[in-house]
Amino acid sequence: MIEKKQLYTIIGTVVLVSLLFSIIPFNFHRNMNMDKMREEFISMKQNIQGDLLPNGQYRCCLEKPCTYCIEKTPKHGEGAICDCLNDIVNGMNPCGECIGEILEGHGNPYLANYFPEALANKIGANHLDELKQIISEKYDTYSYEQ
């Protein structure tokens, strides 16, 4: 029969080992420098996108695919799926990251003629002329006249 002292020792040991195993992964990342964590993040992002791309489940409208759709739901990112390219071509707004990147000039230049109408869907149709001007300047696509 186990004495109380032995029982407490066994319980304490189990609790201590459990805590130790729960702390090790946390401290592993904490001890990594920011450059190493960034490299790991980019690698994981590329693995997710690489797994989804061949099945047509990550179709982004940017030159370098967004990360927004990996984590956001619904519509954009449900199950880590990105369909911003389809949204753009059909005149719908893409995810928030893509909107910002498009306005900065990082969208896929072959889609540039679709950008103003798609972004106006989110920003407002009353801004279509301004969006055409911005896209014209960023992508050199329109012979825009005011």
- What is the Cα–Cα distance from 56 to 49, expressed in whole angstroms? 10
User: The domain containing residue 118 runs over which residues?
Assistant: 55-141
- What is the Cα–Cα distance from 120 to 130, expressed in whole angstroms? 9
Q: Could you tell me the pLDDT band of residue 73, with boundaries at 50, 70 and 90?
A: low
Give residue-wise pLDDT tens across range 82-137.
999 999 999 999 999 999 999 999 999 999 999 999 999 988 999 999 999 999 99
Specify if 39 maps to a domain: no
Number of domains in the chain: 1
Contact, 106 vs 114, CB < 8 A?
no
Q: What is the mean pLDDT of the chain?
A: 83
Specify if 137 maps to a domain: yes
Specify if 34 maps to a domain: no
Specify if 100 maps to a domain: yes
- What is the Cα–Cα distance from 75 to 28, expressed in whole angstroms? 34
Specify if 92 maps to a domain: yes
In the prediction, which pLDDT does 145 show? 47
Specify if 30 maps to a domain: no
In the prediction, which pLDDT does 72 show? 77
In the prediction, which pLDDT does 71 show? 83
